[in-house]
Amino acid sequence: MIGTACGEEPPPEDPPASTGLTAFGDSGTSTGADEAPPVETSPTSTSSTTTGDAEDSSGADEVSSGDPPSTDPCDGADILCDDFEDPALDPQWVYTGAPGNMPVIDEGRAFAGTRSLTFPTTDTQGAFVYPAAGLPVAGDRIYVRAYVNFEREMSAMGGHVSYIVGANAPSNGAELRLGASQNFGNGQMMVDVNLLGNGPEYTQFSNGDVTGGAPSGAPGVTLVADTWYCIEALYDGSAHEFRLWIDGMELSAMHVTDWQMGVTNWSPVYSVVKIGGQNYSGSLGQIWFDDVAMGTQPLGCP
């Protein structure tokens, strides 16, 4: 079911912190520019999600608005909000991909309620849904928040994949692709963001490395299977900026402005923001989405 925000108070400048924080970093050196405090809170998931010691920061910086987090998953979602509780996919979503890879409503796994949206199969063409209306927005600044659950651990995906994409066309356009790939320095599969189709290709990894730069050897952020993660991304086409939060914690190593190379005017116009999955050199496996929201203001993790 799709709805829009109805709260009266303006949202904070940053997404409010999650009410339950998941530790998701590998042990070892901090992967962000700023050291984060130890994490000792209960996870949002139904299974253990710790891939390293909880005291390691993994580049995550806690975001706090000073106000209690909203419990309404549609708060601030002035573009689209869907909890997928209807038995069929709402027609305000448009599918792009092979006919055999269309997503379905799943009653076997949900973050909230009883249903979620799942993509049982992903391939090299990609299988995604995106809003039928509402994009691009004035200012070309879009927040997208989704609860995401993976069939496979990120370490088992084997190569480059994506699951949330901002683009100037439904397919074969310029794309900024949130996903995972193997770091060119240490070979670890980790969360990354990749730009393709708007000039040279760039990738920034969750340990702060960028393709074309010197590898740091530091560990990055890797996500595990059978776990609900609150993932929020900012696609800012006007400022040519990308930011990422997982479970209410910003990953400072994933904050993209100039790809650490002085690159300017790199962002596409975001006519499409899509969720789903695509395999480039890896295999994402089945993926689930719940409580998906898109808006022009921060959304947070209710």
Cβ contact 262:43 at 8 Å: no
Whether the per-residue pLDDT at 68 is higher than 80: the answer is: no
Cβ contact 133:294 at 8 Å: no
Cβ contact 17:62 at 8 Å: yes
pLDDT of residue 302: 87
Q: Residue 74 — very low, low, confident or very high, per pLDDT cuts 50/70/90?
A: very high
Residue range 164-206, pLDDT digits in tens:
999 999 999 999 999 999 999 999 999 999 999 989 999 999 9
Closest Cα partner for 17 from 39, 32, 50? 39
Choice between 131 and 65, residue whose per-residue pLDDT is larger: 131
Q: What is the mean pLDDT of residues 143-170?
A: 97
One-letter amino acid for residue 120 of the chain:
P
Whether the per-residue pLDDT at 234 is higher than 80: the answer is: yes
Residues 176, 177, 180, 185: what is their CA dihedral angle, to the nearest 10 degrees?
A: -20
Choice between 87 and 198, residue whose per-residue pLDDT is larger: 87
Whether the per-residue pLDDT at 26 is higher than 60: the answer is: no
Average pLDDT of the chain is: 83
Residues in contact with 139: Cβ distance below 8 Å, sequence separation at least 6, in sequence order: 238, 296
Choice between 51 and 88, residue whose per-residue pLDDT is larger: 88
- HSE-up (13 A, CA, CB side) for residue 100: 4
Whether the per-residue pLDDT at 10 is higher than 50: the answer is: no
Range in 50-54, 91-95, 135-139 with the lowest mean pLDDT: 50-54
Whether the per-residue pLDDT at 117 is higher than 90: the answer is: yes
